[in-house]
């Protein structure tokens, strides 16, 4: 399976960059449909002035936070990141309070609005940094990919969470990432919640992972009553997941669910930015060409999803994976990005369908999602892309107040007072953000090469189009169709461009 044309059960003729392994799903059996919970009437009513509070949250929302200390030393950042301070969220009964903790102190955690278990995290994303291989509980264990018939042996731990782990494993000379989801079987409700995540990701990935810039579904091994047949079929309607008595007993005995994915050696984009500090590469044209290339691949890949009426709903730095681990390799002619984590994704029943499920990562969700209004999922994804590009350029998230060193002429006491009065959620709701570092680069850095300034200006112009009110915002499909943004298609592999059409 190392040829340029890799077989995929949905699109056998699709030409793509090799990812070594690809799942071949048998046709027998059934698979439950992904579902979207319907919010209660109270959740769709007008929202109070307390923007940090969302009532009756029907599905998870993830707290991923600022990397405001981005400019501290990389070693200290890694030390902080690898040993998070665990802060227990308040008990959730009828409302969900958006709390934020520093992303470098505590990895983003997904919480289910469940009065019985306030800190239940999603099985989709691990929450902390990994430990050394020999100290991992998966050390020396083997995992069988049933459809491929390959046994994989543990190599290293890539991510660790309360209910999920991602490990690196090797079998027959192939490396894969295995997402191990350990379902807490203390109630059918919890099993049902986890079942929705697993089925949603399997269902969507099966249909889109032939794209060279999307994580490949290699195989899966689950004890949930999600059969193979419907992996190949999008559901015709939405309904809540149910858990039978037999299924519940099976999960109590075997609660680990395995999803085998292609391995991305470069890690995620957040880690790349932390290990390649912008200050050290400000005058490096190759670095800026790479940043532009990453952004273009992300935009074109999301356009591909939107053309298929699939909304991601969790675009963020942590979910952009890199296929290589060095800048030199990342500038080759093959795709360099993989978009991952489709646990919150949604396939629209029709192109104009509005959504009402409030989910995503707090720092990346659009104002309309935050405020509980019905929203256009494509425009919401566009907003998240705007946040992502801003974060790359400014080394901080857009709705964090800038450090005092980036705010000349503004009294530190004024900034402190603003921080104490205005929450991040309030600033998202009022779209209160501004450029600081970028303006300095473009106006006060005389020795910065014009080609670098051009790239920064191009990326800045995208953010200016996307981080606006929904009635003024455009979808990425509209964006790449604009003649002045033809440069997005230039300089990326032909495969990526063709898929976005």
Residue ranges of the chain that CATH labels 1.10.510.10: 269-499
Q: Is 418 annotated as a binding residue?
A: no
Counting Cβ atoms within 10 Å, is residue 254 exposed (0-12), middle (13-18) or buried (19+)? middle
CA dihedral 367, 372, 374, 379 (to 10 degrees): 20
Per the structure block, which two tokens stand in for 14?
Answer: 């699709």
Distance CA 15, CA 12 (A): 9
| Residue whose C-alpha is closest to residue 9's, from 304, 214, 216 | 216
Q: What is the pLDDT of residue 160?
A: 77
Mean pLDDT of 386-398: 96
pLDDT higher than 60, residue 79: no
Token digits of residue 359: 């989910």
Nearest residue to 355 via CA among 65, 134, 139, 36: 36
- How large a percentage of the chain has pLDDT more than 70? 69
**Kind of pairing between the strands at 61-63 and 360-361:** parallel
* Predicted pLDDT of residue 218: 95
- Please state, rounded to an integer, the average pLDDT across all residues of the chain: 76
Helix (H) or strand (E) holding 64: none
Distance of CA 194 to the CA centre of its chain: 18
Across the chain, which distance is largest between two alpha carbons, in Å? 70
Region 98-124: mean pLDDT is: 33
More confident residue, 459 or 163: 459
pLDDT of residue 495: 84
Can you give the pLDDT at residue 39?
Answer: 40
Average pLDDT over residues 20-43: 40
Average pLDDT of the segment spanning 106-133: 42
Q: Which of 267, 443, 268, 428 is nearest to 361 (CA)?
A: 428
CATH code for the part of the protein at 269-499: 1.10.510.10
Beta-carbon contacts of residue 328 (< 8 Å; ≥ 6 apart): none
Residue 421: its pLDDT value, please? Answer: 57
- Which residues are 375's β-sheet partners? 355
pTM here?
0.76
Q: Where in the chain is the domain with CATH 3.30.200.20?
A: 41-262
**Per-residue pLDDT, 328:** 82
Given a cut of 80, is residue 94 above it in pLDDT? no
pLDDT for position 398: 95
Selection from 93-107, 318-332, 349-363, 408-422 with the highest mean pLDDT: 349-363
Domain 41-262 has CATH 3.30.200.20: yes
Give helix then strand counts, H and E, for the chain. Answer: 15, 17
Contacts of 52 by beta carbon, 8 Å cutoff, 6+ apart:
97, 98, 423, 425, 426
pLDDT score recorded for residue 36: 36
Average pLDDT over residues 466-470: 97
């Amino acid at each position: 399976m190392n040829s340029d044309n890799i077989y995929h059960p949905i699109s056998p003729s699709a030409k793509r960059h090799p990812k070594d392994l690809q799942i071949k799903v048998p046709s027998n059996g059934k698979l439950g449909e992904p579902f979207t919970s319907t919010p209660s009437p109270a959740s769709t009513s007008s929202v109070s002035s307390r923007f940090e509070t969302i009532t009756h949250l029907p599905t998870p929302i993830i707290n991923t936070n600022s990397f405001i200390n981005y400019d501290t030393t990389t070693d200290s950042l890694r030390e902080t990141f690898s040993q998070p301070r665990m802060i227990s969220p308040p008990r959730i009964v009828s409302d969900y309070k958006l709390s934020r903790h520093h992303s470098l102190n505590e990895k983003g955690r997904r919480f289910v609005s469940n009065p019985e278990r306030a800190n239940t995290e999603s099985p989709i994303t691990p929450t902390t940094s990994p430990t050394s291989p020999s100290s991992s509980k998966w050390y020396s264990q083997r995992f069988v990919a049933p459809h491929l018939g390959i046994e994989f042996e543990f190599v290293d731990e890539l991510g660790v969470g309360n209910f999920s782990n991602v490990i690196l494993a090797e079998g027959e000379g192939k490396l894969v990432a295995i997402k191990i989801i350990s379902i807490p079987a203390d109630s059918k409700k919890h099993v049902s919640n986890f079942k929705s995540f697993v089925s949603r990701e399997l269902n969507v990935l099966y249909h889109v992972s032939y794209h060279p810039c999307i994580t490949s579904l290699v195989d899966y091994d689950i004890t949930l009553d999600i059969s193979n047949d419907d992996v190949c079929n999008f559901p015709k309607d939405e309904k809540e997941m149910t858990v039978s008595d037999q299924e519940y007993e099976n999960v109590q005995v075997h609660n680990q669910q395995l999803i085998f994915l292609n391995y991305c050696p470069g890690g995620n984009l957040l880690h790349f930015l932390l290990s390649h500090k912008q200050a050290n590469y400000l005058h490096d044209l190759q670095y800026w060409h790479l940043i532009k290339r990453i952004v273009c691949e992300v935009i074109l890949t999301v356009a591909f999803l939107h053309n298929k009426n699939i909304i991601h709903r969790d675009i963020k730095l942590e979910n952009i994976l890199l296929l290589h681990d060095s800048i030199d390799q990342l500038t080759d002619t093959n795709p360099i990005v993989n978009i991952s984590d489709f646990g919150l994704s949604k396939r629209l029943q029709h192109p104009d369908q509005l959504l009402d499920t409030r989910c995503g990562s707090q720092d990346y969700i659009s104002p309309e999602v935050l405020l509980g209004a019905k929203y256009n999922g494509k425009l919401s994804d566009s907003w998240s892309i705007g946040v992502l590009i801003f974060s790359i350029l400014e080394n901080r998230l857009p709705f964090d107040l800038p450090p005092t060193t980036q705010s000349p002429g503004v009294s530190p006491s004024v900034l402190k007072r603003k921080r104490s009065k205005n929450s991040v959620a309030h600033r998202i709701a009022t779209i209160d953000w501004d450029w600081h570092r970028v303006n300095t680069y473009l106006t006060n850095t005389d020795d910065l090469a014009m080609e670098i300034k051009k790239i920064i200006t191009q990326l800045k112009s995208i953010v200016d189009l996307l981080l606006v009110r929904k009635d003024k915002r455009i979808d990425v499909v509209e964006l790449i169709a604009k003649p002045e943004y033809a440069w997005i298609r230039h300089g990326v592999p032909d495969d990526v461009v063709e898929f976005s059409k």
